């Protein structure tokens, strides 16, 4: 009887991507000439396992490529070969190639054999030790990165730019990118609107447009690539050289999520009209564990202790159920006390079971942190800076869903610290600092939340510059009474940037507002602190899980809503002298030194018969979100309890002002309020500045 080996493929790929993470981490820690033997052994073992598994399952291209890596690592661990920076860099690039080969094999796509062959030649040249390694690296790079035709023959470029649907959610703005492109010369563009959906299903945070752009200037291709570097994995992109009016068709030019190959470059060199495909998932992209995270999305490795705990809890639950079943036979009032004891026991076991199940979804934050050593290594080298990354609390556990969604915001914040925070070595020395800057990623559990901190010892934020830019852009009308903290938080306003020069790392004025919005959507908060000349700290607080939240039940009319406890500051009953009406603008109430807007819940949700219509008769729940505070006018508070979150969009449809729903004890459904979205929704009735803190 033959065995279907395909059933084991998923496990092989998961283990292989984990092995790549081990290899990459080890190589980043390795120092030329003084590598730790155990470190090399762990890298070698990971490569050996990938090679063996690939050969077993018939992925021979992966196996053959890994064999050359294994040979080089074997000579290094035996002391036959000195560890050099050249070898480390070549092995890091080989990890990227191997990751792409594994990803393509898993997805059933064509393998980029030309790129693998070019990188393999680099490794073999190093193994040969005949002085040709540097030339091999240069030749491979030239073959991979060759432009389609000599610059003097190119009259312009055609750029096919197809942003992915989620590009706005990751903090990127296609329009700003196109404006940057126009600074290189005169452009002509055609916008494709064929993917625009009907208004009924249109999502404001999704993107549906794409462009054909003609740049009538023979600039260097790298200048164009640099503009799109930030969104290379958020779009399909082709940069096509024009010689006269000759160009390739869009179908030939665009290849989503592929790496530029030597074959493309070679064809382009002999036939100038062919396209040079810009990589959208290229080796230069510093994502240490993208493969293992994206491909591991459908499964979780669980510690056997967690499984044992879950089984024990189920056993206890079965015993309690059996006891209650026996009580139900011939029940009489003498058994009421036993029944109450059984129900209390059932409640206790159910809560313990819930906690055990939630523990299964908990993963260490290292799954997110693991991408940053490579990112810092590559970008600091590119910018000519010396930066040490310190990661603290990597074993702190958080819900798998939170881990998946916090990655992109953290990447943006770390890149900002790299680009804007840490100074150049000479500038640091002149300021009396060590030439090597430090970025710290710290994770910890505090008060039922996970707290993630990004610290850098750079130059800090320039509050005068931020204030000046905010006034210039009209973000604020007057900053005379703003505290330092309020000034710093202006960097989260849409399109805000103080960068003097636009770089391909950051500084286009996109992303920080989306970072804040994404964190709010996770039910979290973000704050910033900075000291000029000493550095900055960004502190993110997130719930441990998105499946269950602690909420406050409120009643408006006959409806019940859930307010996340993390959003609530306090609840008050307003006195008449606290409430003010501004003609045509709405109600406000004074809470200590702040004037906050009143959001009438019955008006927002169209409830016809609220119990109270005067603010002084009902209650005001003071909540915080989207950078401001407000008071939710409700009839009464019901109680606090944990609720299980159910997706509205999956089970029903999107409801403005609500992040989900839950089923209450009586079987009715209650909406869980999305405070930032509710505040934005209320702006249709109340001007924006009434939703900001005074």
Can you tell me the distance from the alpha carbon of 184 to that of 181, in angstroms, rounded to the nearest whole number?
A: 6
Can you tell me the distance from the alpha carbon of 349 to that of 343, in angstroms, rounded to the nearest whole number?
A: 10
Q: Which of 172, 416, 449, 518 is catalytic?
A: 416
Q: Which of 70, 260, 423, 489 is catalytic?
A: 70
Q: Which two tokens stand for residue 213?
A: 């752009």
Can you tell me the distance from the alpha carbon of 217 to that of 212, in angstroms, rounded to the nearest whole number?
A: 15
Helices (H), 437-564: 463-473, 484-488, 512-521
Report which DSSP code applies to 278: P
Can you tell me the distance from the alpha carbon of 573 to that of 589, in angstroms, rounded to the nearest whole number?
A: 11
Q: Decide: 682 and 599 in contact? Cβ < 8 Å.
A: yes
Can you tell me the distance from the alpha carbon of 280 to that of 236, in angstroms, rounded to the nearest whole number?
A: 7
Can you tell me the distance from the alpha carbon of 230 to that of 514, in angstroms, rounded to the nearest whole number?
A: 15
The secondary structure of 369-422 as a DSSP string is HTTHHHHHHHHHHHHT-EEEEEEE-TT-EEEHHHHHHHHHHHHHHHHHIIIIIS
Q: Which of 9, 15, 39, 48 is catalytic?
A: 48
Contacts of 322 (CB under 8 A, 6+ apart): none
Rounded to a whole number of angstroms, the CA Rg of the chain reads 29
Classify strands 586-591 and 579-582 as parallel, antiparallel or unpaired: antiparallel
Q: Which two tokens stand for residue 132?
A: 């040709």
Query: What's the 3-state SS for 88-136?
Result: HHHHHHHHHHHHHHHHHHHHCCCCCHHHHHHHHHHHHHHHHCCCCHHHH
CB atoms within 10 A of CB 282: 19
Q: Which two tokens stand for residue 672?
A: 């869980």
> Is 48 in the active site?
yes
Q: 218 vs 119, 190, 222, CA distance in Å?
A: 31, 20, 12
> Is 416 in the active site?
yes
Can you tell me the distance from the alpha carbon of 672 to that of 664, in angstroms, rounded to the nearest whole number?
A: 11
Contacts of 305 (CB under 8 A, 6+ apart): none
> Is 312 in the active site?
no
Query: What's the 3-state SS for 479-496?
Result: CCCCCHHHHHHHHHCCCC
Can you tell me the distance from the alpha carbon of 355 to that of 289, in angstroms, rounded to the nearest whole number?
A: 29
Looking at the annotation, which residues are catalytic? 48, 70, 416
């Amino acid at each position: 009887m033959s065995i279907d080996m395909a059933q084991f493929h998923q496990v092989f790929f998961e283990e292989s991507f984990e092995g790549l993470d081990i290899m990459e981490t080890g190589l980043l820690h390795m120092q030329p000439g003084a590598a730790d033997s155990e470190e090399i052994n762990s890298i070698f073992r990971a490569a050996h396992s990938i090679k063996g598994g690939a050969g077993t399952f018939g992925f021979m291209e992966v196996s053959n490529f890994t064999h050359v890596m294994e040979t080089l690592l074997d000579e290094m661990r035996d002391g036959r070969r000195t560890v050099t920076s050249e070898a480390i860099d070549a092995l890091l690039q080989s990890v990227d190639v191997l990751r792409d080969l594994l990803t393509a094999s898993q997805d059933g796509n064509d393998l980029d054999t030309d790129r693998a062959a070019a990188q393999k030649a680099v490794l073999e040249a190093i193994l040969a030790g005949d002085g040709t390694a540097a030339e091999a690296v240069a030749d491979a790079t030239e073959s991979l990165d060759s432009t389609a035709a000599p610059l003097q023959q190119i009259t312009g470029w055609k750029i096919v730019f197809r942003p992915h649907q989620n590009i706005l959610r990751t903090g990127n703005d296609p329009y700003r990118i196109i404006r940057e492109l126009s600074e290189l010369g005169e452009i002509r563009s055609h916008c494709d609107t064929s993917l625009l959906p009907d208004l009924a299903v249109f999502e404001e945070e999704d993107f549906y447009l794409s462009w054909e752009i003609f740049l009538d200037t023979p600039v260097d291709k790298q200048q164009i690539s640099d503009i799109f570097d930030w969104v290379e994995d958020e779009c399909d992109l082709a940069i096509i050289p024009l010689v006269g009016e000759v160009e390739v068709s869009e179908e030939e030019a665009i290849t989503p999520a592929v790496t530029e190959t030597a074959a493309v470059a070679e064809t382009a060199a002999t036939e100038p009209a062919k396209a040079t495909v810009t990589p959208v998932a290229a080796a230069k992209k510093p994502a240490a564990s993208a493969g293992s995270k994206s491909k591991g999305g459908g499964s979780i490795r669980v510690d056997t202790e967690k499984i044992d705990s879950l089984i024990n809890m189920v056993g206890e639950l079965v015993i309690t159920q059996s006891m209650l079943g026996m009580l139900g036979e011939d029940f009489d009032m003498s058994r009421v006390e036993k029944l109450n004891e059984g129900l209390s026991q059932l409640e206790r076991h159910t809560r313990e079971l819930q906690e055990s199940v939630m523990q299964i979804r908990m993963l260490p934050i290292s799954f997110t942190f693991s991408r940053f050593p490579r990112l810092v290594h590559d970008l600091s080298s590119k910018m000519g800076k010396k930066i040490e990354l310190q990661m603290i609390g990597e074993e702190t556990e958080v819900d798998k869903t939170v881990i998946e969604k916090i990655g992109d915001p953290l990447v943006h914040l770390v890149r900002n610290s790299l680009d804007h925070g840490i100074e150049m070595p000479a500038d640091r020395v002149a300021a009396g600092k060590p030439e090597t800057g430090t970025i710290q990623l710290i994770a910890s559990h505090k008060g039922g939340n996970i707290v993630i901190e990004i610290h850098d010892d750079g130059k800090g934020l320039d509050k005068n510059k931020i204030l000046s830019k905010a006034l210039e852009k009209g973000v604020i009308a007057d900053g005379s009474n703003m505290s330092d903290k309020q000034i710093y938080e202006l960097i989260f306003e849409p399109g805000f940037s103080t960068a003097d020069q636009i770089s391909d790392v950051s500084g286009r004025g996109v992303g920080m507002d989306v970072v804040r919005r994404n964190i709010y959507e996770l039910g979290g908060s973000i704050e910033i602190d900075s000291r000029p000349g000493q550095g900055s700290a960004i502190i993110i607080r997130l719930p441990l899980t998105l499946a269950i939240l602690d909420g406050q039940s409120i009643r408006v009319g006959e409806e019940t809503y859930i307010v996340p406890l993390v959003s609530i500051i306090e609840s008050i009953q307003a006195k008449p002298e606290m409430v003010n009406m501004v003609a045509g603008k709405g109600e406000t109430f004074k809470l200590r030194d702040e004037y906050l807007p009143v959001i009438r819940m019955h008006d927002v949700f169209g409830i016809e018969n609220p119990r109270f219509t005067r603010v002084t008769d009902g209650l005001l729940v003071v909540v915080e979100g989207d950078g401001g505070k407000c008071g939710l006018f409700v009839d009464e508070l019901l109680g606090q309890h944990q609720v299980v979150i159910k997706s509205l969009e999956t089970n029903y449809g999107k409801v403005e002002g609500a992040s989900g729903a839950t089923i209450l004890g009586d079987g009715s459904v209650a909406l869980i309020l999305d405070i930032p979205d509710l505040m934005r929704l209320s702006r249709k009735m109340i001007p924006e500045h009434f939703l900001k803190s005074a």
